[in-house]
Amino acid sequence: MDNKIKMKLAITISSCLAVISILLANRYRKQRKRKQNLSSCYLKSEAKPQHNFKRVLANNSYAPFKHLKLDDSCSDLHPYESEIKALLEKPQVEFEFFNGSMDMEMSDKYVWVDDESKLKELVEVLSKERVFAVDTEQHSLHSFLGFTALIQISTREEDYLVDTIALHDIMRILSPVFADPNICKVFHGADNDVIWLQRDFHIYVVNLFDTAKACDVLSKPQRSLAYLLETYCGVTTNKFYQREDWRQRPFPIDMVEYARMDAHYLLYIAHCLVSELKLQKNDNSASENSACLDDKYYFVFEAYRRSNVLCLQLFTKELEASPGQSAASSIISRHVNDHKSSTNYTRFQELVRRLCSWRDLMARMHDESLKYVLSDSAIVALAENVPLTATDICNTISQADIDTDLLNSTSNPRFPSSVVLSHLDDFEYLFQDEINNLDEMFQLILKKHLGPNGSCPFSLYNYGLLSKSNDFKVSKRLVTKENGYKFSRQVARKASRELFVQKFSCKSPVYHNCRIYANDGRLLCYCDRRKLEWYLQRDLAKLVDEDPPAIILLFEPKGRPEDEGNDFYIQSKKNICVGCGEGNHYLRYRIIPSCYRIHFPEHLKSHRSHDIVLVCVDCHEKAHSSAEKYKKKVASEFGIPLFVHKVVNSVEDQDVSGSSASVMKLGDGGVSPLELRTAAMALIRHGPRMPPKRREELKEVVKKYYGGRDISEEDLENALLVGMSPHERRRLRKKRGMSLNSRNLVSDKEFDSPDKALTTDMEDGSEFNNNETETENTSILDPDVVGSSAKQNGYIGPSGNEGVFATCSSKLSLLGHGPHGKQVVDFLLKEHGEDGIREFCQRWRQVFVEAIHPRFLPAGWDVTHRI
C-alpha cells in the first residue's frame, strides 16, 4: 500500500471514530434513560416480523428439531424416505420442462401471493402442473436460525412470489405438491432450500431436479445461476440482491425483478440441460449393460439421482456440548499465535469462552444471529482489553467491527448491537473473576433475562431455553379472576327478547383467542383465559405473549390436532352467530342435547368444541325449538318417553332409567322440572288462598314427581330446586333463607371444582369457559324459564331415602330428560355400539343445520365429523 493511501485511510478512520464516539455517547445516554424507565430490553419496544408467527417449528432452544411424523414410524427418519428412495432407484425423467410458450422476456406480470385464498389458488394451480421451478430467500441477520422470507415459484405460465412472512403459519398447505413424486420441482442449488423448507414449514421436497447438479454431471466450467442465465438466456444478474433484507415490504421493484429472475428461467434452463444430458456419450455403460440401462438417459438419470439425494437431507439444529463452545474453540485457535506467549493467555481463553456462551444465549433469547449480537472480532477485542466502563465496552466493540469491516471493504460503521446496548450491565458480571463455571454463569444470565422479573420478553423462540431449568416461575400475571363472561346476576322480570339477550348472551367474547402452544412451539388450540390460568397456576405452562395471551406447555401434550390433518381446533374462532353472522350478542348452543351427551362414553364426549357453537337469540330460538321437536321424534322412534313418568319413593323403585323394563308410555304424563317448580312455587306462595280445585291440580303435579305419595312443606321447598344448577340452588337457598339439609344435597363442590375438561386433551382445547358442568339449551321465550331458572342443570334427581336430593347420580335428571337421554344412549350403545352414537350425533347436527341453515360455521365443521 503506498503511503498516501495509508495516510488517507488513517484520516478516514480517525474521523470515523470521532463521529462514532459522539454517536455512541448519545446512544448510550438514551439507553441509560430508557433503563431508568425500567424497559431494559430493546425487544420490548421493537417489533420483529417473526413475532407474529403463530407456528414455530424450529425454536431457539437446545432441544433437537422435530420433523413431521406421517405415521407411527420413528421420528428420526425422513417422512418421505421411501418415496425418495423409489425415485433414486427409478427416476421419472419424462418431464417436459419447456413447451415453447414460455415468456423468455419476463414481462411485468407476476402474482403476489399474500393471503390464504391466493395461496390455495396457487396450490390448485401447482397440483395440476407436472413441473415447476422454485427458489427461496432467507433472512438471517435478525434471527437465530434464519427464516424464509420469500418463496419464488414459476410455472411455464406464471411467476408467483409467495410472501412467506405473511403466510408463515399456513405455508404447509403447499406441502402436498412439494412432496408429490409425480410433480418435478426444479431448483438451482437446492442444498439449503430443501432444509430451510423443512425447518420453517415442514415442507419436504420429493422429486427434485437441481440445475446445479446437472452442471456437475455435465462438467460445466461454472455452476452458478448467473452463469446459466447468461449462457442460456442471455441475461445478466446482480447477486448483490442476494444479501438484501428480504423482510422488507413492499419490495422495491428491482428486488421483485431479481427475485423473479431466480426462478423464472429455471424451467427453460432445465430443459436445455436435460437436452445436453441426453446428448452426452455414455462411456461408462459397457455394451453388456446397455440392455438394462437406457443409454440416452444415463446422464439424465444421474443428474436426477444426485438431485434427489439432496431431498434426503434432514434439517437439524447444531447442538454442542456447552453453549457457544465450538465458536470459542475456533476463535481461540485462530488467535493462538497472538496470545500463546502472553501471561494472560489463560485469562484470554476464559473470557472468550464466557463471551461466546453469553453471545449464544443472548442470540437465542432475542432471536438474533450470533454475528449480529457480537462479532468474533469484538469478542477477541473485549477479551484482550477487558474494558470496564460502558463507554469503553461500546468503543472496543465498534472499533473491532470497524477494523474488520475495513478489511472486508464494507463501508458503513457498526455500533454495538441493540442486544449489547440494552444489556451492557451483563459485561460487568462477565468480566468478574469469581465465576466458577460456565454452566453456573449461563443459568444466572438466563434467570436474569427470562426469569420471573427478567429483563427480556418471552417469545415462541426463546421459552424453550427454560425447559431444562424449570425453577423459574412466570409471574402470575393472569390469575386475576375473569368475571366478564359470567352470566349477569340481574334477575329478569319479563320474558322479553332484550332481557334474554342481556341475561344469556355472552358478555365478553367467548373465544378469547388465547393460544396454547406445545413445547415445541406448535400451536395446539385457541381457548379462553381461564384455561391459560389453569395451566399457569400449576406451573404447567409459561406465558409467552400477553395481548392476546399465549402460553407454552412445559410438558408433551397427548396429541396434536394437526397431526391428524384436522385444522378445526386451531382455527381462530369468530365471535359471531354461526347462523346469521350476528356479532352483537350470541350465546352458546349445544348441538347435541346434554341429556344425551352426558351419557356418552367418556372418549366420545371429549370433542365438545365441535358441537358447541355460538348463535344469536333468533337462531338459538329456531335451533332450540327444532331440537325439542326432534327430541319428541326420538322419543317416539325409540319408544322412550321424555319425562319421568313416575318418581320413586323407595329404594327398590329407584331404577328410573328403567333400562329394559321400560313400561312407560309416551304421553302418559310425567312431570318436567319446569312444571314441577312452577307448581311448587305457586303452592308455597299462594296455596292457602287458592281455589281448592286449582290447589289440588297443582298438588297432583308435585305428587306425580314424588311417586304419588302425600307431600310435605319440605317436599315443596325441595321441589323448587329440581333441575337447577348448584349456583342457582345456592342463590335460591340464600334468597329464601332456606335451611335445606345440605348434607343430603349433592355437594356443590363436586360441580364447582376446576373444570374437569381442563386436561391435556387438546381436542377439548377450544372448550368454552363454563362455570357449569353441563347446561341444557333452554327455550328463550318461555317466561318461566327466563323468570326463574333458565340454566337447568340436573344434579338433583329423584331418589328414595331421606329426601329427594340424596345421592342419586347427577346424570339422571337434566331438564327432566335425563332418564330419557340415558335410555336412548344405552339403547344405541347396546344395539349399534359407538357407531350408533356417532350416527346419532350426525342426526343432531343435521337437525341443527336444517333449522338455521348456518352460513358462518368454522371451516372444517361438518355434519359427519368423526371423533
Size of the site for Mn ion (CB under 5 A): 2
41 touches Zn ion by CB under 5 A:
yes
Question: Cβ closer to ligand AMP: 262 or 582?
Answer: 262
Instruction: Tell me the closest approach of the beta carbon of residue 244 to ligand AMP, in angstroms.
Output: 8
Taking CB under 5 A as the binding criterion, the range among 257-265, 354-362, 563-571, 669-677 that sits at the site for Mn ion is 257-265
Size of the site for Zn ion (CB under 5 A): 2
Q: Residue 53 and residue 521: Cα distance in Å, rounded? A: 10
**Binder among 262, 360, 384, 426 for Mn ion (CB under 5 A):** 262
When CB distances are held under 5 to 8 angstroms depending on the partner's kind, the choice from Zn ion, Mn ion, ligand AMP, none that residue 756 binds is none
Q: Residue 62 and residue 144: Cα distance in Å, rounded? A: 12
What residues pair up with 133 in beta bridges, in sequence order? 154, 186
Q: Residue 567 and residue 561: Cα distance in Å, rounded? A: 7
Question: Cβ closer to Mn ion: 135 or 728?
Answer: 135
Question: Cβ closer to Mn ion: 95 or 241?
Answer: 241
The string over 769-788, giving b where at least 16 C-beta atoms fall within 10 Å of a residue's C-beta and e elsewhere, is: bbbbbbbbbbbbeeeebbbb
Q: Residue 644 and residue 656: Cα distance in Å, rounded? A: 7
- What is the edge-to-edge ordering of all strands in the sheet holding 184-187? 111-113, 159-162, 147-154, 131-139, 184-187, 208-210
Taking CB under 5 A as the binding criterion, the range among 9-17, 233-241, 261-269, 823-831 that sits at the site for Mn ion is 261-269
133 touches Zn ion by CB under 5 A:
no
Cell of 705: 314427581
**Binder among 24, 456, 722, 828 for Zn ion (CB under 5 A):** 456
790 touches Zn ion by CB under 5 A:
no
Contact between 589 and 865 (Cβ < 8 Å) = no
**Binder among 56, 131, 135, 841 for Mn ion (CB under 5 A):** 135
When CB distances are held under 5 to 8 angstroms depending on the partner's kind, the choice from Mn ion, ligand AMP, Zn ion, none that residue 41 binds is Zn ion
Question: Cβ closer to Mn ion: 174 or 790?
Answer: 174
What does each C-alpha distance from 664 to 205, 630, 636, 824 come to in angstroms? Answer: 64, 19, 12, 13
When CB distances are held under 5 to 8 angstroms depending on the partner's kind, the choice from ligand AMP, Mn ion, Zn ion, none that residue 243 binds is ligand AMP
Question: Cβ closer to Zn ion: 323 or 854?
Answer: 323
- Contacts with ligand AMP by CB under 6 A lie at 135, 137-138, 140, 189, 242-243, 246, 262
Instruction: Work out the angle at residue 470's Cα, subtended by the Cα atoms of residues 550 and 557, and round it to the nearest 5 degrees.
Output: 55
When CB distances are held under 5 to 8 angstroms depending on the partner's kind, the choice from ligand AMP, Mn ion, Zn ion, none that residue 159 binds is none
Q: Which alpha helices (DSSP H) does 190-279 contain, by range?
A: 191-201, 211-217, 225-228, 253-264, 266-279
Nearest to 124 by CA among 88, 199, 177: 177
Taking CB under 5 A as the binding criterion, the range among 33-41, 154-162, 267-275, 548-556 that sits at the site for Zn ion is 33-41
Dihedral (C-alpha) 640, 645, 650, 653: value to the nearest 10 degrees? -30
What would you report as the CA-atom Rg of the chain, rounded to the nearest whole angstrom? 35
CB within 8 Å of 229: residues ≥ 6 apart: 235, 236, 237, 261, 265, 269
When CB distances are held under 5 to 8 angstroms depending on the partner's kind, the choice from ligand AMP, Mn ion, Zn ion, none that residue 275 binds is none
* Site pattern 209..248 for Mn ion (x: CB under 5 A): ----------------------------------------
Q: Residue 867 and residue 859: Cα distance in Å, rounded? A: 17
When CB distances are held under 5 to 8 angstroms depending on the partner's kind, the choice from Zn ion, ligand AMP, Mn ion, none that residue 138 binds is ligand AMP
Question: Cβ closer to Mn ion: 135 or 675?
Answer: 135
Question: Cβ closer to Zn ion: 41 or 311?
Answer: 41
Q: Residue 572 and residue 582: Cα distance in Å, rounded? A: 17
What does each C-alpha distance from 711 to 414, 729, 733, 740 come to in angstroms? Answer: 90, 21, 20, 16
Question: Cβ closer to ligand AMP: 134 or 648?
Answer: 134
Instruction: Tell me the closest approach of the beta carbon of residue 196 to ligand AMP, in angstroms.
Output: 8
Q: Residue 399 and residue 20: Cα distance in Å, rounded? A: 9
When CB distances are held under 5 to 8 angstroms depending on the partner's kind, the choice from ligand AMP, Mn ion, Zn ion, none that residue 330 binds is none
In the complex, the residues that contact Zn ion under the rule CB under 5 A are 41, 456
Residues that bind Mn ion (CB under 5 A): 135, 262
